[in-house]
Amino acid sequence: MLKVTDLHKEFGGIKAVHDCDFHVKKGEIVGLIGPNGAGKTTVFNLVTGFIRPDRGTVIFDGADVTSLKPHIIARMGMSRTFQMIRLFPNMTVLENMLLAMKNQDEGFKAAIFRNPLMRKKVKQGLVRAIEMLEFVDLHAKKNELAKNLSYGQQKLLEIARALVNDPELLLLDEPAAGVNLTMLKKIKGLINKLKDQGKTILLVEHNMEFVMEMCDTVVVLDHGEEIAIGTPKQIQKNKKVLEAYLGGTEGCE
Amino acid sequence: MSIVAQLIANGIIAGSIYALVALGYTMVYGILKFINFAHGEVYMLGAYFAYVLAKVYHVPIVAAFIISMILCAIVGVIIERVAYRPLRKSTRLAPLITAIALSIFLQSLALLVWGSEIRTFRTGEISKGHNILGAIVTDTQLMIIATTIVLMLLLWLFIKKTKLGKAMRATADNLEVAKLIGINTDRVIATVFAIGSALAAAGGILIGIEQNLEPTMGVTIGIKAFTATVVGGIGNIWGAVVGALLIGLVENIGIWFIPSGYKDAIAFVILVIMLIFKPSGIFGSGREEDIRAQGE
Amino acid sequence: MYDYLLHIAVLCGIYVVLSISLNLAVGFTGLFNIGHAAFYGIGAYTSALLTLAGVPWWIALIASAIMAGLFGFMVGVPCLRLRGDYLAIATLGFGEIIRAVMKNWTGLTRGPLGLPGIPKPSLFGVQFASIDMYLLLVVVVAIITVVIVNRLVKSPFGRVLKSIREDEIAAKSLGKNVVKYKLQALTLSAMFAGVAGSLYAHYITFIDPSTFTLMETVLMLCMVVLGGAGSIIGSVVGAIILVILPEPLRFISLPSSAAAALRQMIYSVSLILMMIFRPQGIFGETSTTKKFDLRKLLGMKKPKIKLRTKKNA
């Protein structure tokens, strides 16, 4: 599904990511972990095309997507959420969903003449958007302005928005950060449901419990370098990982 | 008399007036990051206040000059208090709309009170003028330049030497931090409005003495002075002065090449060109990210 | 008196077109254009010059829309890279440059003397010379404008415009070509202003540069803000209120310059009060739960899906 080979990226001489190799099989949930500043979000940005790598390749669904523009990669079926929520605060939940949807006639001629095909697409879009809102249990809020949602609900909306184009691969940047226990349960349930549907997920997360519980494979980064890869159990026993985390903590304090 | 020298002299004289007005724009922008559209109207009010004092109440012209500057400083503070302060936390566009409305309001008020006819301070004939390096410069024009220089020196001293001046610089640097270290930013903002308005008033009075007064006189000068601040790098105080002189010169030399009907349009053309190609100003000191659209 | 009321109604119609077109740029897309009067003027001059040269009115009308749109596009290409208040200043600059050309290109526009004797329009042999006929024409054009702009903003296209107003970077990250949309919005907005200009020119039959000043844009802006930026019904109501509001002043005997000054004071004070106390305007959208709903007001059932009409329901 996704194959990352030998990925390198430097920012002004500092190696943000190097020697990063991993692959994500279809239907698998892969967690990307590591201490702060390990380069997790950079990997996300490299994979989704927001940043170009200095070296290495990203193969998605058999196609080389390295250095393609983000919206082209998105169109190929890879969708992501952001660590910092980026919604349109003064637009409704439904509008936020619809804006992310592809296959909508967003030209002004379509808006004026409204041919049957355009109307059909609009209807399909609405149906799909409401379906996704129901999936994340937000349909009751569909006419609410995004800014009036709670933090957790905004996260749900972002996930729903990422799902709206039915992506093959979903990248979640810290889905569990900053949410309360009820919401955490809800998000876990959501990810399990997605897994049952056969979706593939790559996620970055700090919450270890969450990662160990949810993921099939865990990739550990430290200082931009991949130091371990394996099942949650293997990772828990891995010496290098423990060192990185303990060392990281020492470094912090 | 040489034409080139004359055009340069005219440019410097016009530029001095633009500079006095431009300072208000750039100081307010430096702190509040917004364009005080009504600033040109304060310039107009300054001219009328002095005119009324001198002509109706027969106050000596120097006293009228100073009283008018003080009155305009008060007007500036009131404008800030009534129209802008309530909007400080709103969107960027709300204060702009208010400022435009305020500018129209003051203009129509002047029209209503003083009528639309053109007035002048001048009583006798235009003084003959001196020949300076081939250009004919009148006493009034010399006075314009001298007054501008004196006022700018005073401003420089104020900013460099006084506590309030230092607070002003700190606030322009970062409003939030200034607040945190205990600077009364509301007072600083009021001061900036007061100083800017007094300087604009001085410009208006000088023009009123040199040329004439009408209620709409603040509109084009407002745009020209604003152009000067953009040319000099918005938020940069001395950049605005240089920008103002440049605008004055380009305009006056420009009418040598193109029909004089387009004189006022020159500043607009410079403004648009600067905004598009070099929004940070000729010194590159303006904040480009404030000017460019998001994500550009 | 009857003619006077019709005259007011014609003006209302023309300003409805102007305020709605300005709202498309300012209210829906967040483009703070204060050179709108220039597009209005370009439309007026285009239509006047063409018909004076013997071109049929309806062709001149279309030409004025295209010409104004073309200028909108040309102004937009460089200016839309600027943000907020700088865009405002740049469009103001362009507006003034265009007005300087109107004033000084005397060979074409006769400068400050203006263009007199602009013919009244006629279409398919129907003369729109009388004021009631002209009102009919203006109302039809105003309704077409409302319908088209309403369709524009209540569509996927309009949704993208709104998203640009809210957060350009987020819109970009969803793959929207922000610059293209802004240009389209400004061009369309200018086209409608051009149509309004044509309507004005053939109604008054005399135009000169003094009509198309910053003050004129400010008046349109007042209408938009009063009604509520981003509200179609708001622009209609705002235009009508501000055309009618200063009219009673006509009946007080005042010198005309004083009346004009008073009128402008009314506009400006109402605008300032509006910004301070109700910045979203009369019909502004702040919260969808309180959104103005004409259907609800009239006791009609709200359609489930906005775009579904009888045709395909």
Identity at C113, one-letter amino acid code: L
Instruction: Select the residue of B94, B96, B296 nearest C81 (Cβ to Cβ).
Output: B296
Q: Are residues A175 and A62 in the same domain?
A: yes
- pLDDT reading at B295 higher than 80: no
Q: Which residues of C touch B259 (CB under 8 A)?
A: 104
At C244-263, the pLDDT tens digits run: 887 877 777 777 777 778 88
Average pLDDT, chain A: 85
Least confident of A111-125, B282-296, C284-298: C284-298
Instruction: Select the residue of B86, B107, B262 nearest C100 (Cβ to Cβ).
Output: B262
Residue C123 lies in a domain: yes
Q: Which residues contact A113 (CB under 8 A, 6 or more apart)?
A: none
Residue B39 lies in a domain: yes
Average pLDDT, chain B: 86
The number of C-alpha atoms within 13 Å of B179 and in the hemisphere containing its C-beta is 7
The tokens of A39 are what? 């380069």
pLDDT of residue B249: 93
Contact assignment for C288 to A145 by CB distance below 8 Å: yes
- pLDDT reading at B150 higher than 70: yes
Average pLDDT, chain C: 85
- pLDDT reading at A82 higher than 80: no
Q: Give the number of residues written for chain C.
A: 313
Query: Chain C closest CA to A23's CA: distance in Å?
Result: 26
Burial class (CB in 10 A: 0-12, 13-18, 19+), B292: middle
Q: Which of A101, A132, A166 is the last residue of a domain?
A: A166
- By C-alpha distance, the chain A residue nearest C157 is A106
Residue C7 lies in a domain: yes
Q: Which residues contact B186 (CB under 8 A, 6 or more apart)?
A: B85
Most confident of A6-10, A14-18, C139-143: C139-143
Query: CA–CA separation, B152 vs C11, rounded Å?
Result: 49
Between residues A208 and B124, the one the model is more confident about: A208
The tokens of A47 are what? 């994979």
Q: Among residues of chain B, what percentage have pLDDT more than 90?
A: 35
pLDDT band with cut points at 50, 70 and 90 for residue B92: low
For chains A and C, CB pairs below 8 A equal 84
pLDDT of residue C302: 44
pLDDT of residue A251: 40
At A212-225, the pLDDT tens digits run: 888 999 998 888 88
pLDDT band with cut points at 50, 70 and 90 for residue A252: very low
pLDDT band with cut points at 50, 70 and 90 for residue B128: confident
Contact assignment for C269 to B83 by CB distance below 8 Å: no
Residue found under tokens 């979000």 = A41
Query: CA–CA separation, C52 vs B1, rounded Å?
Result: 48
pLDDT band with cut points at 50, 70 and 90 for residue C299: very low
Chains with 3 or more CB pairs closer than 8 angstroms to C? A, B
pLDDT band with cut points at 50, 70 and 90 for residue C271: confident
Answer yes or no: are the C-beta atoms of A98 and A126 closer than 8 Å. yes
**Average pLDDT score over residue span B175-203:** 91
- pLDDT reading at C296 higher than 50: no
Instruction: Select the residue of C156, C188, C287 nearest A106 (Cβ to Cβ).
Output: C156
Which alpha helices (DSSP H) does chain A contain, by range?
Answer: 40-47, 70-75, 93-100, 108-113, 116-135, 151-163, 181-196, 208-214, 232-237, 239-252
State the best of B112, B224, B227, B255 to mutate against chain C, taking most chain C CBs within 10 Å. B112
Q: Are residues A238 and A125 in the same domain?
A: no
Q: Looking at the 3D structure of chain A, how many domains does it have?
A: 2
Answer yes or no: are the C-beta atoms of C196 and C68 closer than 8 Å. no
C289 touches chain A (CB under 8 A): yes
- pLDDT reading at C202 higher than 90: yes
Answer yes or no: are the C-beta atoms of B73 and B195 closer than 8 Å. yes
Look up the ipTM and state it: 0.77
Query: Chain A closest CA to C312's CA: distance in Å?
Result: 8
- pLDDT reading at B230 higher than 80: yes
Residue C63 lies in a domain: yes
At A144-159, the pLDDT tens digits run: 898 899 888 998 898 8
Residue A2 lies in a domain: yes
Contact assignment for B105 to C269 by CB distance below 8 Å: yes
Closest CA to B80 of B27, B127, B129: B27
Q: Are residues A55 and A176 in the same domain?
A: yes
Query: CA–CA separation, C20 vs C35, rounded Å?
Result: 15
- pLDDT reading at B1 higher than 60: no
C106: three-class secondary structure by DSSP: helix
User: Residue C24 is part of which domain span?
Assistant: 2-212
What is the number of other CB atoms lying within 10 angstroms of the CB of residue C113?
10
The tokens of B270 are what? 């410079």
Least confident of A198-212, B163-177, C186-200, C246-260: C246-260
Answer yes or no: are the C-beta atoms of A215 and A232 closer than 8 Å. yes
Q: Looking at the 3D structure of chain B, how many domains does it have?
A: 1
C176 touches chain A (CB under 8 A): yes
At C86-106, the pLDDT tens digits run: 888 889 888 988 998 999 898
C159: three-class secondary structure by DSSP: helix
Bridging pattern class, strands A200-204 and A169-173: parallel
Answer yes or no: are the C-beta atoms of B139 and B127 closer than 8 Å. yes
Query: CA–CA separation, C210 vs B20, rounded Å?
Result: 29
Answer yes or no: are the C-beta atoms of C174 and A165 closer than 8 Å. no
**Average pLDDT score over residue span C59-76:** 95
Query: CA–CA separation, A133 vs A156, rounded Å?
Result: 9
- pLDDT reading at A253 higher than 80: no
For residue A199, what is the domain's CATH number?
Answer: 3.40.50.300
Query: What does residue A11 show for φ and ψ, rounded to 5 degrees?
Result: -120, 110
The tokens of A248 are what? 């990281």
Q: Are residues A153 and A225 in the same domain?
A: no
Q: Looking at the 3D structure of chain C, how many domains does it have?
A: 1
Least confident of A196-200, C39-43, C70-74, C180-184: A196-200
**Average pLDDT score over residue span C137-160:** 94
Least confident of B1-15, B79-93, C185-199, C249-263: C249-263
pLDDT of residue C288: 36
pLDDT of residue A247: 63
Q: Are residues A65 and A135 in the same domain?
A: no
Q: Which of A136, A166, A196 is the last residue of a domain?
A: A166
Contact assignment for A123 to C176 by CB distance below 8 Å: no
Closest CA to A39 of A28, A61, A54, A27: A54
- pLDDT reading at B127 higher than 70: no
Residue B258 lies in a domain: no
Residue A18 lies in a domain: yes
Least confident of A119-123, A169-173, A246-250, B178-182: A246-250
- pLDDT reading at C125 higher than 90: no
A100 touches chain C (CB under 8 A): yes
Query: CA–CA separation, B186 vs C112, rounded Å?
Result: 46
What is the number of other CB atoms lying within 10 angstroms of the CB of residue A116?
9
How many helices (H) and strands (E) chain C has is answered by 13, 2
Q: Which residues of C touch B100 (CB under 8 A)?
A: 34, 218, 221, 271
Q: Which residues of A touch C288 (CB under 8 A)?
A: 92, 143-145
A21: three-class secondary structure by DSSP: strand
Among positive and negative, which fits the CA dihedral C234, C240, C246, C248? negative
**Average pLDDT score over residue span C52-64:** 94
C188 touches chain A (CB under 8 A): yes
Least confident of A88-97, B2-11, B279-288: B279-288
Among positive and negative, which fits the CA dihedral C39, C45, C48, C51? negative
Answer yes or no: are the C-beta atoms of A32 and A43 closer than 8 Å. yes
Q: Are residues A48 and A156 in the same domain?
A: no
Q: Are residues A141 and A175 in the same domain?
A: no
A130 touches chain C (CB under 8 A): no
DSSP single-letter state for residue A17: E
pLDDT of residue B63: 93
Q: Are residues A162 and A175 in the same domain?
A: no
State the best of A75, A78, A88 to mutate against chain C, taking most chain C CBs within 10 Å. A88
At B232-267, the pLDDT tens digits run: 888 888 899 999 999 999 998 888 888 877 888 888
Query: CA–CA separation, C142 vs C15, rounded Å?
Result: 9
Q: Are residues A160 and A177 in the same domain?
A: no
Answer yes or no: are the C-beta atoms of C203 and C121 closer than 8 Å. no
Q: Are residues A158 and A195 in the same domain?
A: no
Identity at B266, one-letter amino acid code: I
Chains with 3 or more CB pairs closer than 8 angstroms to A? C
Residue C228 lies in a domain: no
- pLDDT reading at B286 higher than 80: no
- pLDDT reading at C311 higher than 50: no
Contact assignment for A88 to C167 by CB distance below 8 Å: yes
**Alpha-carbon separation of residue C88 from B119, B279, C65, C197 (angstroms):** 32, 14, 22, 21
User: Residue A187 is part of which domain span?
Assistant: 1-77+171-253
pLDDT band with cut points at 50, 70 and 90 for residue C187: very high
Residue C164 lies in a domain: yes
Contact assignment for B96 to C172 by CB distance below 8 Å: no
Q: Which residues of A touch C289 (CB under 8 A)?
A: 143
Residue found under tokens 């004289």 = B13
Query: CA–CA separation, C146 vs C155, rounded Å?
Result: 14
Query: What does residue A82 show for φ and ψ, rounded to 5 degrees?
Result: -110, 155
pLDDT band with cut points at 50, 70 and 90 for residue C312: very low
Q: Which of A150, A166, A182 is the last residue of a domain?
A: A166
A51 touches chain C (CB under 8 A): no
Contact assignment for C159 to A89 by CB distance below 8 Å: no
At A48-74, the pLDDT tens digits run: 888 888 989 999 988 898 888 877 888
Contact assignment for B271 to C214 by CB distance below 8 Å: no
Least confident of A244-248, B54-58, B167-171: A244-248
Q: Which residues of C touch B292 (CB under 8 A)?
A: 81-83
Please indicate whether chains A and B are in contact, defined as at least 3 beta carbon pairs under 8 Å: no
A222: three-class secondary structure by DSSP: strand
Residue A82 lies in a domain: no
Q: Are residues A2 and A71 in the same domain?
A: yes
Bridging pattern class, strands A14-24 and A63-64: unpaired
At A227-251, the pLDDT tens digits run: 888 888 888 888 888 777 766 544 4
Query: CA–CA separation, A5 vs A22, rounded Å?
Result: 7
Among positive and negative, which fits the CA dihedral B213, B215, B217, B222? positive
Q: Are residues A66 and A117 in the same domain?
A: no
**Average pLDDT score over residue span B53-65:** 91
Query: CA–CA separation, A46 vs A68, rounded Å?
Result: 10
Identity at C33, one-letter amino acid code: N
- pLDDT reading at C287 higher than 60: no
- pLDDT reading at C297 higher than 70: no
pLDDT of residue C305: 44
Query: Chain C closest CA to B13's CA: distance in Å?
Result: 23
User: Residue B182 is part of which domain span?
Assistant: 3-9+17-228
